[in-house]
Chains A and B, each alone.
Chain A
Amino acid sequence: MASGVPAVVRVEEFRIDVVKRQRAWGWLVISYLFLGGAGAGAFLAALALGQLWGEVLGLVLLVVATGFLFLDLGRPERFWRAFLRPRTSWISRGAISITALVALGGLHVLVAGATGGGGVAEQGLAAAAAVAAFAVMVYTGFLLSPSPAIPFWNSTFFPAIFFAYSLLAGIDVLILASLVPPGQAVDLPLLEAVQLGLVVVCLLMVLSHLSVMSHAGLAARSSIALLVRGHYRWLFLGGVIGAGLLVPLAVAAPGVLLGAPTVLALSAVLAVLRLAGDYLFRFLVIRAGCYDPLR
């Protein structure tokens, strides 16, 4: 807002009985959640597959994601203070996990690149970096789920959903990156099989979350109403559920289950759809968060 122009205060700010939507976190935090999850997921998947280029790509994505978080801070020059309260704050735990992943992952890439892998140091670094990557993938779920203010986020499913979506996005990043010239070899049939399983897991958990929340209080039901009947219904039903999960499931399942040869172009299209669904899922989870009315 330009200096000197009085702020417009919404009418609903002064109503007792309305369910208010959260507006504190916007697209910068949403983009961080998406890129951070995809980066940590890509790193973990590449570590498991033994592909150093994938590890590097995952770490680069993670650093870019952290840039979004940095830009979102009101006082970015004090970012280092975010590390100070790991005993109670999930933001502090996340900041420490991200730093640990970048440091340990970077060291692993260097050591594995220099030695060719297999040494005790390389394996120790790989194990430690894998733990840090896991922490980065799940902590965002814990960041939201303890909130007493926004019932739609009070879900034990969230850490698991965020982990599954992060791994799904990370593998999709690897699939798409393998197509960029000069091209990197990936075991596409294996990755498509894993993705099929992850899509089923994500679908079941998202639907279970909605089912549980539909029996919760007014604010949680208002969040669901926004997603399935309200302002966001096309993005949620069409984007998250349809394009992001059901279409990849329907298209990939016959090929994976019958062992048909994987078509590279089709895998790329499915990867883009799943990534778009992942971004929309995180976007809508944040945007649909609602506070209970005060009375």
Chain B
Amino acid sequence: MTRWAMVIDLWSCIGCNACTMACKAEHATPPGVFWRKVLEQEVGRYPAARRVFLPVLCNHCAEPPCRDVCPTGATWKRDDGIVLVDYDQCIGCRSCIEACPYDARTFYADRATYFPGVTTPYEQAQQTFPDGVVMKCTFCVERVDVGLQPACVQSCPTECLYFGDFDDPESTVSRLVAEKKARGLLPEKGTGPSVFYFGG
């Protein structure tokens, strides 16, 4: 059985947001909507001050609280661990946003566009979501299903993002988690995230 997972090397992340923009390009997400983003923080004091970065996205949890609270079954998990939203079933109650500890979901209601009053042909082709629903990272399921890497992984210039089968002990992600002692965010929440971090 396959369980897709992502490992993020925080030592190598330079905060360039190439992943953020690749995600927006892949899914044509509206203004202000980020299925993934890079958080940052200044640590230390001058002259030893530095910036640290934390790329964040849906954690595709093993026990997703968003799925459990969904009253319609719109949020569901595939056998390979990818958590998705069925936009035809979502009623926009936003209980999943309240349940997600990772702030990874966005309610899309205002039909904002990048060009005043115009939805470009590219947006029309790429956007799979209607308004009035909750959206989030899909691990680029449309790419993964045809053997490609997610757009963010593909675009990272420092190769700090790794994607693969966590159930395969020989995969890069399994090896990194074991060797680097990579761990998920907020483990105390008991959600079993499929995005792991090391370094930083």
Contact = CB atoms under 8 A, between A and B. Distances in A.
A40 to B, nearest CB: 19
Interface stretch (A112-120, A143-151, A155-163): A143-151
B171 interface: no
Interface band, chain B: 35 or more
A53 to B, nearest CB: 33
A7 B117 contact: no
Contact of B65 (A90, A148, A291): A148
Contact of B32 (A9, A81, A82): A9
Given A3-B117, A14-B37, A73-B93, A149 B65 contact: yes
Nearest to B65: A148
A15 B53 CA distance: 9
Given A1-B112, A7-B110, A13-B37, A89 B101 contact: no
> Chain A at the B interface: mostly helix, strand, loop or mixed?
loop
Given A7-B30, A14-B38, A74-B92, A147 B71 contact: no
B133 interface: yes
Nearest to B52: A16
Interface in B123-173: 130-134
B2 interface: no
Contacts of B107: 24, 74
A79 interface: yes
A22 B98 contact: yes
Contacts of A20: 103
Contacts, number: 149
Contacts of A82: 71-72, 91, 93
A208 B157 CA distance: 52
Please report whether the interface of chain B is mostly helix, strand, loop or mixed according to DSSP: loop
B101 A149 contact: yes
A17 B110 contact: no
Interface in B91-120: 91-95, 97-103, 107-118
A147 B52 contact: no
A75 B54 contact: no
B191 interface: yes
A81 B32 CA distance: 28
B19 interface: no
Given A24-B97, A149-B99, A295-B185, A79 B68 contact: no
Contact of A295 (B34, B54, B73, B189): B54
A292 B41 contact: no
Given A78-B89, A147-B99, A294-B186, 8 more contacts: A1-B110, A1-B112, A6-B112, A6-B114, A15-B41, A74-B108, A82-B72, A146-B69
Interface of A: 1, 3-9, 13-17, 20, 22, 24-25, 72-76, 78-79, 81-85, 88-92, 95, 143, 146-150, 289, 291-292, 294-295
Interface of B: 30-34, 37-41, 52, 54, 56, 65, 67-74, 89-95, 97-103, 107-118, 130-134, 185-186, 189-191
21 contacts: A4-B115, A7-B33, A13-B34, A14-B39, A15-B39, A16-B52, A16-B54, A22-B97, A25-B98, A73-B91, A74-B132, A74-B134, A75-B90, A75-B130, A78-B89, A81-B72, A82-B72, A147-B65, A147-B98, A149-B101, A294-B54
